[in-house]
Structure 1
Amino acid sequence: MAALPAPKFDYRPLGDDYGNFRLLELQPAIDRRDLLRCTIQHASIDTSAYCALSYVWGDQKVDSSEMETTYKRPKRRLFESKKHYQEGAVVYRKEIGSSLARALRYMRQPYASVTIWVDAFCIDQESKEERASQVKLMTKIYSSAQVVHAWLGPEYNEDPAVHSRACLAGRSNRSARNWLTVPLVGIEIQKNTLAFDYIDLIWALAKRIKGSEKLASENDWLQACFTIAQTPAEDLQQRKNAVHQVWASFSAQLLQAVISHAQAGQIYTTLDSLSQVNYFSRMWILQETGRAKRVVFHYGEREASHQQLLLALGVTRAYNGSFAKDQLRMLGSKFDSRFLSCVIARLTCSKALGLHEVLKLAFFDRSMHSATDPRDLVYALLGLATNPQAISVSYELSLDEVYIATARFLFGQGFTDSLITFRPYARSNEFLSPEFPSWAYDWSRRGLPSFARFKAAKDTRPRLSFVRHTGTVHNIAMSLKGTWIGRVVAVNEHKFSALASAAGLSLEVIQSGRLQGGARPLTTDEKRILGDLLARIHPTVQLLPADVARLMSQSALPLGNFWCWWVWWTLSIWSLAKGNTNEVAELLLREAPPRVSSNKDVMRLVSARDVAGLMDLQSWSNLLFTSSTGAAPGSQLTAFGIDIVESLFRSAWGTRPFALDTGFLACAAEVVQVGDEVVIFHGVKAPLVVRRAGNGAHRIVGPAHVCGAMQGQLMSVASSVETYALT
């Protein structure tokens, strides 16, 4: 006789009492392959002892597993309906994601049960109302847990060989999940497991350094971890900070100890791999690790405290962020710095910051985290703040409404930097409506705050308000006062992306603006074609065969392709500059760090009085390459040479030069067109390109760099001020 099917899993209401939640009691098993069994019960946070799980959901539709679940029903209270509160328990078979299943199998103990909170299981994900109410409790849930277990992997589909063998082995036996018997032999899995040996090693090296006893203090450890993770450029900006100097010394000693270790290459290769696990891409980990009393990171059977793992990754970031040595470049690293957000989250929580400060920090963080529901890209940040109630949590709200409310909150706090976000190659967003306001920040398509260092509006304050504006879905416009500085009358036909593509640079290089990693060995024919092209671009550009050979031989950067692009780009700017070499130099070095822009030799070249001087290959070669006597044509770029080339490329990234009818030279996102206007809005750090949208309103196209205007030079007392309605 066939067995009756298990009843459908049915969540019972948690009730209205604050602090009510569900807990999972994971039953013991000696064999990891045994079916997962648990009991789920209602409890109160204030009276419960439990741990919490932080993990990657994964694709639950493709990879799923089963868990046998007993739902303990609470005893019926007086006068309450029998429907949901009858005594007893019902056993269910519930589908769960394989990522969660694997994590629970490793969390499970052989002889004792484990009480654990798991978001995907303990919250009724089908109930928008319950999701909203439980999100409001997240801070308390994670801060009250005795320990938060962070599951880094392995994921079910992490290794293709394991995945394919698992699919063949799995057949229809969904309860035993035969794929668990497959050895975890993938290359990445081996690297990530081995990384934990080196995490222990780095911690031991840190303990030998004088002053390391301060690492016992959470705040001191956070300072040390954050300091060592900084790249040299970031470090320069903070050297005047006394606390930073203490940990900078510790950082330098630890980095040197690791670099000098006999297994340095293996250390960085394995930790480089570990930084790329999907776990660090999740938005919710900021709250889950930031609020936790204690975090233990797990990868299979290996584990490490958050102090040990994050410090080791910090050392790896510092290593990969430095180009002082050739061997560092040879790693070809794809190191992912998103782990650093865990450190920032703990620092944020320790400082008890308000919501506007938390959102500002998140805006300036260049890391791109993900969430299954894009509303959670905001909601996940609320738990880091002391006043999360300033933004209401409701999954009944549309994504437009959530992001608009967040923008209005920040504008109310005087924060306008979101208006100057630069994102020239952002992917399209299928979740937002076409009428999403141009002034509201899209948290799912994070951009760069690269214009935030300017002071185009000088010391003016934002003079804004929100007004009703008919004709749009949201019927709202932002009224903002600003100074008009010109209308676009000439746009160069050459866009950054078009020129870079014509020069043979890859799509990845174009979209990222980073030349590193875009090189490959050139064939003989490609070298000949590029050499001929360089020689033909402009008659005044003289290229010797040795110079061309030197360009083509580079492995650090695709320098031959870069030089093709560079000649085209400088010509496109020169054609609009009308001989103003100061404006040409300003645009060419727009994103250059002080180390580059203050160098006399660099300034002499970019301020040349003619095109031939700008493209003097011999002078550039002397500046970029090693200058030892008798150096071969294939001499390597110096670290400073890499800085120069990267900053020149980055300064042009995603832009298009144009001229205003008022005589100014500028550049903005590639979508700028003739007829657009440029305005310096009060309280906004960079000029904005705006486009008429009808009904007396404008839409923001993006920030612009206007030569001679970026430090407030145009904000005189006599400047006329107008009010703009931005939709």
Structure 2
Amino acid sequence: MAQYYSDELDTESFRLATISSGIHPNTKSQVPSVILTKHLLFGALDLAYNALSYTWGSPRDSSPPTDKVTNTTILLNGLLFEVQENLYDALVELQVSCSETPIWIDALCINQSNSNERSPQVSVMNQIYGKANRVIVWLGSTFPELETGLRAVERLGAASVPETLRMMRTQTWDFSSDLSTMPERYGMDPIDQEEAVGLVALYMSNWFTRIWIIQEVSLTSDVVILCNGRFTCFDYVGYTATFLHYSGLFQSVVDLVPKDRPGIHLRGGINIFHAERIQLLREWCKGKKSAWTGVLAMLDLEAGLGKHHANPAAMVPLRVLFSTFGMKATDRRDTIYGWNGILKHMAAQEGVSLPVVFEPDYDIEIKDLLRIIACNIIETTDSLVYLSLVKDPSVRETPGLPSWVPDYPPVLYNSVHGPNFRSLGTLNSSKHIPHSPNKYPFTITGKVLNAFGFRLGTVQRIGETFLECLQGRLSMLGDILLTMDKTYTYTNQQADEVLWRTMIWDTDFTNRPSKLIRLEDFQRAIAHNFVRALQYVFKEAGSASAGHALVLQSISDMAYLDEIAAKFPDSIFPSTRLVRSLCASLDTIPQDSDGCDEEELQKLMEPLSKHAMPPGNIMASTWINRRTILTDTGYLGMGHESTQAGDEVWIISGSPAPLILRRSGERNDCCLIGEAYVHGAMQGEAITDEVTWEKIKIV
């Protein structure tokens, strides 16, 4: 690309773009014309420039229908140059809205085909964004629902902050589910259907999942979203997302959206949790200038290690990597390098230097980069907590990577270590204290993690996935409960209580053990999953009579529910009588059907407690991408979805959470499947003088 870039940039200089309207030499149509000029980075504060934050690919997974002709050709320094469609649209809008101000745009201001320029420029992007007068966020071409969503966050954003700070300060959740109570509880008008559609449209923007945007919006104070000539303060977007999550109103907003609404497409994820985490990092980077400074201390972003570390240099990378998840990067190496600016900024705040392994080097292979990063974090923290970031084997994306090295696939995935409110306390199944004498040390030799541990048990039975639960398929989970003794030996609790506590990692998001979950609410949530699935069976039938017959047959196939009811009358599973009663109330079976239980039905219809956490909210956090497991030794736990019978559950010295391992190869080495929650073993209860620690190799 020598014809576009006459020189090669290092870390001392950067280019700025000036946008005007030009004429395509062939079609004679108007196209954006961009002129690049070189400047010293040292004097950037005097230049009064903007910086653009956008996504290189499509702005949405499913874009609203449009008659717009696709254009991708611009003039760059007077020559024809191809750009992505989303950038083309942004250039057109920028030329109209703020052409008088020079702007930094990564795809144009860096010679992307020259790694000798790209690496040093990426390493100073934190300075480029940090010194910009304003960062302009581009979510894609406007459409009515997006504009409605931006108006909604302008209404809700600032007004919601005191409520969010209250919840964080007291380390509690409001558990709201009724939008009509917003005036009484929060002094705000309720979110209506049009606003709900707009908010979902806004948070479905792919921009929220792009890893680079975190440093782009976190390092300068003035960040705005440009849409149809209007600028919306970005903080309002983050504030609203955080409020909707902590208040519990998020699901009610989603439920308000008609699934067939023209112009809105509920096919992809709604990235509200990404928006929340981005805002928390932004407030963190503001330091003492943020009104959130005090309450951020209520969040444990260090997986419980912070109290053991006087050296913040070890904590900065761990804190950042644990506080976000599911971000996307075109170049897989950017799953690490995309954090460079944030890491440098936070290291500077702590008065320490960032380890050199985090400096961009686009000549290194992704598998080598990820392994080097893992080695650095494990060695500097003197802990194996980093292994909890390893995702399920089915979603890992890096061939040739040791199983114990996280590779950050773009999947929403919660760890048992949080981030959580500090009121939950910390987990430490191996009783390891970093930087203290350790009788059973762990070391890394090449691609092998050498450690000591002992086996809690071998996986004997597995339960269903969360999706299967929503489909009313829970026979394997029922089989687990029926297999268990009535009393769980390791905690002396009733087995049916241990089951629901295990499914939510024994937390209500404020306490561990859980105190704010009502058994009745849990029973209601599970019963409705069965009934919702049967409603679908009824709707798929050709007629009402055929639907009734299919539903009745499905209920008769659930005999295991009555076995559970006989052995554990207070379990979370409904009896078939209760399922029949619920179906009769919904006309999916005849109302005069035999075997209904009206008394139980009335109990189930009682309103949810206003002072209890809805269990569905927690199960969506703890059960997604996981399944229940039962070992041959009677331990009940939750492991990654790929866990299968024959896998082994271990306590590994240095790992705060138990790990699920799978034997592999002739040498009997092990592969890591992932972390686990094991009820009655999360605080070191399994460690006794009788335990024999074994050497183990994880490859």
- Give TM-score scaled by structure 1 length: 0.66
| Alpha-carbon distance in structure 1 between the residues aligned to 2:135 and 2:667 | 54
Match of 2:567 among 599, 602, 610: 610
Tell me which structure has the larger Cα radius of gyration. Answer: 1
Read off the aligned partner of 1:587 and give its amino acid letter.
L
| Alpha-carbon distance in structure 1 between the residues aligned to 2:600 and 2:522 | 25
Match of 1:590 among 502, 524, 527: 502
SS of residue matched to 1:36: strand
State the match for 2:232 in structure 1.
304
Matched, 1:575 2:483: yes
Matched, 1:443 2:443: no
| Alpha-carbon distance in structure 1 between the residues aligned to 2:522 and 2:101 | 68
| Alpha-carbon distance in structure 2 between the residues aligned to 1:643 and 1:688 | 29
Matched, 1:194 2:140: no
Equivalent residues of 1:29, 1:110 under 8 A apart:
no
Equivalent residues of 2:429, 2:658 under 8 A apart:
yes
Q: How does 1:182-581 map to 2 (within 5 A)?
A: 189-202=143-156, 206=159, 227=165, 237=171, 256-260=186-190, 264-317=192-245, 321=249, 329-331=255-257, 335-337=270-272, 338-351=274-287, 356-365=314-323, 367-385=325-343, 386=347, 387-390=353-356, 391-412=358-379, 413-421=381-389, 423-424=391-392, 426-427=394-395, 429=397, 432-433=398-399, 435-446=400-411, 447-450=413-416, 454-461=427-434, 464-468=441-445, 475-486=446-457, 488=458, 491-492=460-461, 495-497=463-465, 509-510=467-468, 515=470, 561-562=471-472, 565-566=473-474, 568-577=476-485, 580=488
1:437 positional shift: 0.9
Q: What do residues 247-288 of structure 1 show as CA deviations (whole Å, max 9, x unaligned)?
A: xxxx9889723334xx74433332232121121121111100
Read off the aligned partner of 2:165 and give its amino acid letter.
T
SS of residue matched to 1:393: coil
Equivalent residues of 2:137, 2:224 under 8 A apart:
yes
| Alpha-carbon distance in structure 2 between the residues aligned to 1:351 and 1:706 | 37
Equivalent residues of 1:465, 1:479 under 8 A apart:
yes
| Alpha-carbon distance in structure 1 between the residues aligned to 2:405 and 2:7 | 36
SS of residue matched to 2:55: coil
State the match for 1:37 in structure 2.
33
| Alpha-carbon distance in structure 2 between the residues aligned to 1:139 and 1:336 | 24
| Alignment gaps of 5+ in structure 1 | 1-6, 71-90, 155-183, 210-222, 245-250, 469-474, 501-508, 516-560
Equivalent residues of 2:463, 2:476 under 8 A apart:
no
| Alpha-carbon distance in structure 1 between the residues aligned to 2:224 and 2:620 | 41
Equivalent residues of 1:656, 1:672 under 8 A apart:
no
Read off the aligned partner of 1:34 and give its amino acid letter.
Q
| Alpha-carbon distance in structure 2 between the residues aligned to 1:639 and 1:603 | 8
State the match for 1:681 in structure 2.
652
Q: 1:116 and 1:599, CA in 2 relative to 1: closer, same or farther beyond 3 A?
A: closer
Matched, 1:657 2:629: yes
Deviates most, 140-149 or 304-313: 304-313
- Give TM-score scaled by structure 2 length: 0.68
State the match for 1:13 in structure 2.
7
SS of residue matched to 2:30: coil
| Alpha-carbon distance in structure 2 between the residues aligned to 1:287 and 1:695 | 44
State the match for 1:504 in structure 2.
none
1:403 positional shift: 1.1
1:598 positional shift: 5.8
State the match for 1:65 in structure 2.
72
| Alpha-carbon distance in structure 2 between the residues aligned to 1:27 and 1:651 | 51
Q: 1:63 and 1:436, CA in 2 relative to 1: closer, same or farther beyond 3 A?
A: farther
Matched, 1:98 2:10: no
| Alpha-carbon distance in structure 2 between the residues aligned to 1:201 and 1:566 | 43
Q: 1:663 and 1:381, CA in 2 relative to 1: closer, same or farther beyond 3 A?
A: same
Equivalent residues of 2:431, 2:683 under 8 A apart:
yes
| Alpha-carbon distance in structure 2 between the residues aligned to 1:295 and 1:310 | 11
Equivalent residues of 2:502, 2:637 under 8 A apart:
no
1:384 positional shift: 0.8
Read off the aligned partner of 2:280 and give its amino acid letter.
I
Q: How does 1:702-717 map to 2 (within 5 A)?
A: 702-717=674-689
Q: What do residues 282-337 of structure 1 show as CA deviations (whole Å, max 9, x unaligned)?
A: 111110000123112112222112234433444454566367xx788444797421
| Alpha-carbon distance in structure 2 between the residues aligned to 1:420 and 1:616 | 34
Q: 1:224 and 1:55, CA in 2 relative to 1: closer, same or farther beyond 3 A?
A: farther
Q: What do residues 510-556 of structure 1 show as CA deviations (whole Å, max 9, x unaligned)?
A: 4xx7x4xxxxxxxxxxxxxxxxxxxxxxxxxxxxxxxxxxxxxxxxx
Read off the aligned partner of 1:237 and give its amino acid letter.
Q
RMSD: 4.5
| Alignment gaps of 5+ in structure 2 | 24-28, 60-68, 175-180, 259-265, 289-300, 302-311, 348-352, 419-425, 527-563, 586-596
State the match for 1:149 in structure 2.
136
Q: What do residues 479-535 of structure 1 show as CA deviations (whole Å, max 9, x unaligned)?
A: 22223334x2x623x5414xx7xxxxxxxx34xx7x4xxxxxxxxxxxxxxxxxxxx
| Alpha-carbon distance in structure 2 between the residues aligned to 1:363 and 1:255 | 35
Matched, 1:51 2:50: yes
SS of residue matched to 2:38: strand
Q: 1:639 and 1:423, CA in 2 relative to 1: closer, same or farther beyond 3 A?
A: farther
Aligned residues: 559
Equivalent residues of 1:464, 1:478 under 8 A apart:
no
